[in-house]
Amino acid sequence: MSLDTAAVPRPPARGTSTAPMMTGAQAVVRSLDMLGVTDVFGLPGGAIMPVYDPLMDDDAVRHILVRHEQGAGHAAEGYAAASGRTGVAIATSGPGATNLVTAIADAYMDSVPIVCITGQVFSHLMGTDAFQEADIVGITMPITKHSFLVKSAEEIPGAIAAAFEVASTGRPGPVLVDITKDAQQASAPFVWPPKIDLPGYRPVTKAHGKQIQAAAQLIAQAKKPVLYVGGGVVRARAAAELRVFAEATGAPVVTTLMARGAFPDSHAQNLGMPGMHGTVPAVLALQESDLIVALGARFDDRVTGKADEFAPNAQVVHVDIDPAEISKIRTADVPIVGDLKEVLVDLDAAFQSARADHAPDIAEWWSYLDGLRAEFPLGYSEPEDGLLAPQYVIKRIGELTGPEAVYAAGVGQHQMWAAQFIQYERPNAWLNSGGAGTMGYSVPAAMGAKVAEPDRVVWAIDGDGCFQMTNQELATCVLNDIPIKVAIINNSSLGMVRQWQTLFFSGRHSHTDLNTGHGTVRVPDFVKLAEAYGCLGIRVEKAEEVDAAITLALETNDRPVVIDFVVSADAMVWPMVPQGVSNSFVQYARQHAPTFDGED
């Protein structure tokens, strides 16, 4: 991705007029204006207070006051993930800045372009353990693409412009700009566009032609190819190019948790999601392939299982914008560094030429995979305790809402069910915390997505555990007219931990009961909590009530809606490949068919 400056107003060219004098704080706000930023999420405090004064007078930038800085970070993530535009979060020094750390780490793992602007104590006080001092640059250095420390007003425009350039180009990610209070208060000429000095930062976008040709030859000759599609396709905005290339090759496609929607679920070539909770056809297609074409994917442990036994007979073509990812876990036979939007076009052209000499024959491969699809359809069993099946609830949310909505999930069982049972037909429709697995992501991310895409329906699909970590942002939503829909999949427990305890700890459910939804005591009562925030609160305990509640939520757009779906605590996420186990489990799957097809 590149910084889109087409709509950014430009001042007179450098040298044609006298640069206006302004404080560093004013320069922060003016820089955001010049970069086309329209929305920011933040919470003021002493060290960032100078910036908040000119921000109050700026009509171009909408500031959304959050209730917790972590909410600001996740909202910036949701904003970016739903729209492709860089999200912005603002916080003060010390605890304000450290409260952003979880969201920054989350954005780093999932390649989300956000810029975090933090205040810092006066430069002469740095290193003295001053009030609310924290070395946020040092703290975030391992989890950002870059962290800037700004100590003078003159540096501010350049630092902020560079931050947006770094966040949004190459492999996207978070960038921190930490600005001392004296730099905010001092005055300097505001020069725009500033000179951006990023020595050594030269993202490669155009792939080497010989590597493209070598990859095309392998694809044309493969008998069991698989396109292993990762979140990089979404970040590169390359879904259209992927579809053209996939249809040209005829190869099966698997879309990782971060890539759901990059290739339509309804497409005949889509085998679904691979990995620990992936579909049997997707998992075995990778495991038994003779060629894996990895597109913006990183061979993470949740996909590969036991890495040294993953796809033992497959050659690998690995395409990524980040050279550090290639051959990090699985050695690539053909490494390709480049922007997927461009690489896929080049690969398609090279493949068209290669198949003229060697027409691929993968009919037998497809016959085998179609057999797996018929034998192991994705399904679920009805709970024996009479409570709602969470899979049914989530499936109906997707069916009644449709593919044009945005679905943001928390982390845990509900996340996996949302990835499995909602049909995703377009990129940027599915938001979740994939790499970091951050509980509390859903509500603020949905809030950010709704700000970025106000004409779309936005659902936060959350668990009762996750929801209690960031539900205070419902106040932000109410006060700022951000009418998200929240579906709490309330199993009264930390569901995924409980599932593992059931399977691997002899059913000893140690400290996973939350007491939120079963019996006479509800702590808290989510309907009352929703109403206290000014939301519409609904409770659903019977299957016949599900559709009516979802429909009412879809019809309510004057405030947020929270639906407390009371579901069975015994429901589990299937399929499941246990951590550290090889993906070679055909025999295991066949012996445990009820686990995979939902039959009794």
Question: What are the tens digits of pLDDT across the range 155-203?
Answer: 999 999 999 999 999 999 999 999 999 999 999 999 999 999 899 999 9
Which tokens in the block code for residue 502?
């059931």
Tell me what the mean pLDDT of segment 125-139 comes to: 97
Query: Is the pLDDT confidence value at 599 over 60?
Result: no
* Closest C-alpha to 336, from 186, 217, 239, 214: 214
Domains present along the chain, CATH in parentheses: 21-189 (3.40.50.970), 209-375 (3.40.50.1220), 390-566 (3.40.50.970)
Question: What are the tens digits of pLDDT across the range 106-120?
Answer: 999 999 999 999 999
How many helices (H) does the chain have, and how many strands (E)? Answer: 25, 20
Kind plus residue range of the DSSP H or E element containing 234: helix 232-235
505 is catalytic: no
Question: What are the tens digits of pLDDT across the range 261-292?
Answer: 999 999 999 999 999 899 999 999 999 999 99
Task: Give how far Cα 545 sits from Cα of 393, 441, 550, 565, Å.
Answer: 10, 27, 9, 10
524 burial (CB, 10 Å; 0-12 / 13-18 / 19+) is: middle
Which tokens in the block code for residue 145?
């693409």
The single residue of 416, 439, 496, 576 carrying the catalytic annotation is 496
Which tokens in the block code for residue 268?
């005949």
Kindly give the pairing relationship between strand 146-150 and strand 87-91.
unpaired
Average pLDDT of the residues of the chain = 93
Which tokens in the block code for residue 79?
């904003």
The single residue of 77, 155, 165, 181 carrying the catalytic annotation is 181
Tell me what the mean pLDDT of segment 382-390 comes to: 93
The single residue of 69, 77, 133, 288 carrying the catalytic annotation is 69
Q: What is the DSSP string of 527-585?
A: HHHHHHTT-EEEEE-SGGGHHHHHHHHHH--SS-EEEEEEB-TT----S---TT--S--
Its pTM stands at: 0.94
**Which pLDDT does position 495 carry in this prediction?**
77
Task: Give how far Cα 137 sits from Cα of 46, 88, 91, 119, 145, Å.
Answer: 18, 17, 14, 11, 12
**Which pLDDT does position 302 carry in this prediction?**
87
pLDDT band, residue 9 (cuts 50/70/90):
very low
**Which pLDDT does position 255 carry in this prediction?**
98
**Which pLDDT does position 583 carry in this prediction?**
67
* Closest C-alpha to 584, from 364, 314, 317, 219: 314
**Which pLDDT does position 11 carry in this prediction?**
45
**Which pLDDT does position 18 carry in this prediction?**
84
Q: What length does the chain have?
A: 600
pLDDT band, residue 600 (cuts 50/70/90):
very low
Query: Is the pLDDT confidence value at 591 over 90?
Result: no
pLDDT band, residue 211 (cuts 50/70/90):
very high
Helix (H, G, I), strand (E, B) or coil at 185: helix
Spatial distance between the Cα atoms of 142 and 83, rounded to a whole number of angstroms? 26
Query: Is the pLDDT confidence value at 150 over 80?
Result: yes
Of 229-238, 424-433, 536-545, 568-577, which range is least confident? 568-577
**Which pLDDT does position 582 carry in this prediction?**
67
The single residue of 122, 126, 132, 213 carrying the catalytic annotation is 132
**Which pLDDT does position 597 carry in this prediction?**
40
Query: Is the pLDDT confidence value at 565 over 80?
Result: yes
- The single residue listed with the structure tokens 């190019």 is 241
Q: Is the peptide bond before 9 cis (omega within 30 degrees of 0)?
A: no
The single residue of 131, 206, 223, 504 carrying the catalytic annotation is 131
156 burial (CB, 10 Å; 0-12 / 13-18 / 19+) is: buried
Tell me what the mean pLDDT of segment 509-519 comes to: 84
**Which pLDDT does position 578 carry in this prediction?**
77
**Which pLDDT does position 595 carry in this prediction?**
44
Which tokens in the block code for residue 8?
């950014």
**Which pLDDT does position 500 carry in this prediction?**
86
Question: What are the tens digits of pLDDT across the range 47-86?
Answer: 999 999 999 999 999 999 999 999 999 999 999 999 999 9
496 is catalytic: yes
165 is catalytic: no
Question: What are the tens digits of pLDDT across the range 232-246?
Answer: 999 999 999 999 999
Question: What are the tens digits of pLDDT across the range 440-455?
Answer: 999 999 999 999 999 9
Instruction: Please enumerate in sequence order all residues whose Cβ is within 8 A of that of 582, keeping only pairs 6 or more positions apart, or say none.
Output: 305, 306, 309, 310
8 Å CB contact between 205 and 339: yes
CA angle 471, 476, 478 (to 5 degrees): 100
- What is the Cα 593 distance to its own chain's centre? 32
Question: What are the tens digits of pLDDT across the range 13-38?
Answer: 444 458 999 999 999 999 999 999 99
181 is catalytic: yes
**Alpha helix segments (H runs only) across 127-206:** 136-140, 156-168, 181-185
Of 295-309, 517-531, 547-561, which range is least confident? 517-531
